[in-house]
Amino acid sequence: MKAETGMEQALAEPKASKPDHVPDGLVYEFDYTHDPEFLRDPFTRAAQVAREAPPIFWTPHNGGHWMITGFDDVSNAFRDWEAFSSVLIPKAMLDVILANLPPGATTPMTSLPSSVDPPAHAMYRAPLQQVFSPKVAMGLKEEIRELAVALIEKVRPNGRCEVMSEITEPLPVQMFLKLFGLPVERQAEYRDIVKTVMAPGVHDIANIIQGSQTLVATTAETLIERRENPRDDIISAMWKLEIDGKPITLELMQSYSLTLFLAGLDTVMNAMTLGARHLAMNPALQAEVRADPSRVVEMTDELLRLYSFPMPIRMVGKDASFGDVAFKQGERVHFFLPGANRDPRQFEAPDAFRLGRDLKSHLGFGAGPHRCLGMHLARVELHVFYEELLRRLPEFQLDPERPPRFHGGMVTGPTELNIVWN
Ligand code: HEM
């Protein structure tokens, strides 16, 4: 993931003009890709935004868009798919893109099931539930552990490591490749694709389409091979699915792979790195969980709440009022999970890490019809990562010489995390 620099800050896009229907009182300047305070310490700045901005605000940055920050508003907006649609590329724009593709280019895929609204969404999502069930995720635990142990043991003798490049990037990427039966030798290639597609400025649709096409092209061969020679992996299991009563097609398989790839890699590596950072800053918590590893389960979800990083995106499907705010068709809206999960009306002392909270309702995995399909797998990956990190490394701290660095974007997160131990 690209680090932000002063130069990039200076190169931030010009601000959009405020649309006439947006009252002055609802404008708040927040730039999720370049705000210097957000890049220095995203969660402190996010808490400040949630405290001082209107609960629903419009910002002129990143092309101009709405941000919904409160816990209840975000929960309701996730479920109001008629107002806030997941169809991000309107048909008219898609037609223009298709008409301008260079000869021989692969047709852009719709990412399934994430870019489809109810009721059609259920038809694409329901069959995947069996592949991503808690039971299947638990069944993968030992395979995940093997990868985590190998990566952590490799750095253990060094007394220091850069967590992202040495553990939390390779772990979910290798996991994904293994689960999907894709060649692990192509790890670097797949990591580069995630970086391109998820780089700051993701509202740049052309960028997303280009990265998506590369991904579709690189996975096609394996998808076809697995249809002919099924193995014990997710791709082979997905070939057995029926969508709307009909056998799944190659095009649908590619659309699913695209979403699972984009949704499953950047997210897990961010969550792991942010959790490792919190542990490095809190030796008492390390000691508590080392003494009672069963606490890893609640620690994982409290860390997901405290360091919620996604800002899911929607398009206003038709002119609509939500609360007192009027939205116009075609406007972009983000759900500000870093703020919603620290809403004091929902969580007591929201900025504090507390084991034993009631976390059933946190929004780290979203809510409503598009709630994270991979959350069981993500939790198992996180549990194993924390268990092995705490079991295999002695007490670790942030490297005082190399402070953590962050990047902005729709999936905000760390770029670099250095830790040291004796
Ligand atoms: C800590 C890790 C993860 C976090 C924080 C996370 C978070 C989220 C969030 C917030 C959404 C809702 C997006 C929206 O409403 O637009 C979502 C959806 C989704 N996630 Fe995850 N995710 C994680 C890991 C994974 C993994 C490992 C996979 C699968 C390999 C995955 C697959 C999906 C899919 C397929 C969707 C779309 C579901 C739908 O549209 O019905 N996620 N995730």
Residue with CA closest to ligand 1 atom 36: 372
How far apart are alpha carbons 36 and 407 in whole angstroms?
10
Which of 173-177, 266-270, 392-396 ranks highest by mean pLDDT? 392-396
Residue 238 CB–ligand 1 contact under 6 Å: no
Q: Average pLDDT of 349-374?
A: 92
Pairing of strands 320-322, 396-398: unpaired
Q: For CA atoms 37, 38, 44, 46, give the dihedral sign.
A: positive
Determine the atom of ligand 1 nearest the C-alpha atom of 378.
Answer: 27
Confidence of residue 285 (pLDDT cuts 50, 70, 90): very high
Residue 268 CB–ligand 1 contact under 6 Å: yes
For 3, the enclosing helix (H) or strand (E) is none
- Tell me: pLDDT of 5 over 50: no
Q: Average pLDDT of 107-125?
A: 85
pTM of the complete model? 0.91
User: What's 378-419 look like in SS3?
Assistant: HHHHHHHHHHHHHHHCCCEEECCCCCCEEECCCECEEEECEE
- Tell me: pLDDT of 296 over 50: yes
Cα–Cα distances (Å) from 246 to 59, 123, 127, 242, 257, in that order, read 44, 11, 11, 5, 19
Determine the atom of ligand 1 nearest the C-alpha atom of 382.
Answer: 1
Q: For CA atoms 190, 193, 199, 202, give the dihedral sign.
A: negative
- Tell me: pLDDT of 44 over 60: yes
Ligand 1 mean position, distance from CA 259 (Å)? 9
What pLDDT score was predicted for residue 57? 97
Q: What is the pLDDT of residues 144-184, one digit of tens each?
A: 999 999 999 999 999 999 999 999 998 988 888 887 777 88
- Tell me: pLDDT of 360 over 80: no
- Tell me: pLDDT of 377 over 60: yes
Token reading at 359: 């976390």
Residues of the chain with pLDDT > 90: what percent?
Answer: 61
Residue 116 CB–ligand 1 contact under 6 Å: no
Residues of the chain with pLDDT > 70: what percent?
Answer: 88
Q: What is the mean pLDDT of the chain?
A: 88
What pLDDT score was predicted for residue 101? 63
Residue with CA closest to ligand 1 atom 1: 268
